[in-house]
Amino acid sequence: MTDRKPALDPDILDALAGAQQPDAADAAALQRVRSRVMERIAAEPKPGHVTVEPGGGKWQAFLPGIQRKVLHERAGVMSYLLKFAPGAVLPAHRHPMDERCVVLEGSVRIGGQALAAGGFHLAQEGLPHDDITSDEGAVIYLHGASPKAEHLV
């Protein structure tokens, strides 16, 4: 058996190994650059992202005493707001897909169940629910199928 000497001097091997480790200052600088790049990326408008400011969009007549503001609609799915005047009624209807509802202001009654601001309601696909009414007025957020007359019961 022969003793083999390393091809490189141990001092050179140590220098090469040390050169492969980033300096702490370089790592910190790299992190600062990454942070600035990510901040700039986050600040840029994103294609495909939709933002509607509180005063944006347009309220349109929907049903007597009810106005609608469409926030987004694609492929038959809509996110929208409904504003109920006091005493307004949204007639009973079915949902061709699950619909999520959050009461933002006021209160509504779905059949016999009262739902105040902050309340959530899920109407499941295919199942009808009773009239939605509001004695005092309300604003609700809905996400589900774009409403159509044929969904009314």
Q: What is the pLDDT of residue 36?
A: 86
Q: What is the number of other CB atoms lying within 10 angstroms of the CB of residue 70? A: 15
Q: What is the pLDDT of residues 53-89, one digit of tens each?
A: 888 889 999 999 999 999 999 998 999 999 999 999 9
**DSSP bridge pairs for 77:** 74, 145
Q: Does domain 60-151 have CATH number 1.10.3720.10?
A: no
CA proximity to 101, closest of 152, 144, 59, 56: 144
- Domain residue ranges in the chain: 10-43, 60-151
Q: What is the mean pLDDT of residues 2-10?
A: 72
Q: What is the mean pLDDT of residues 90-116?
A: 93
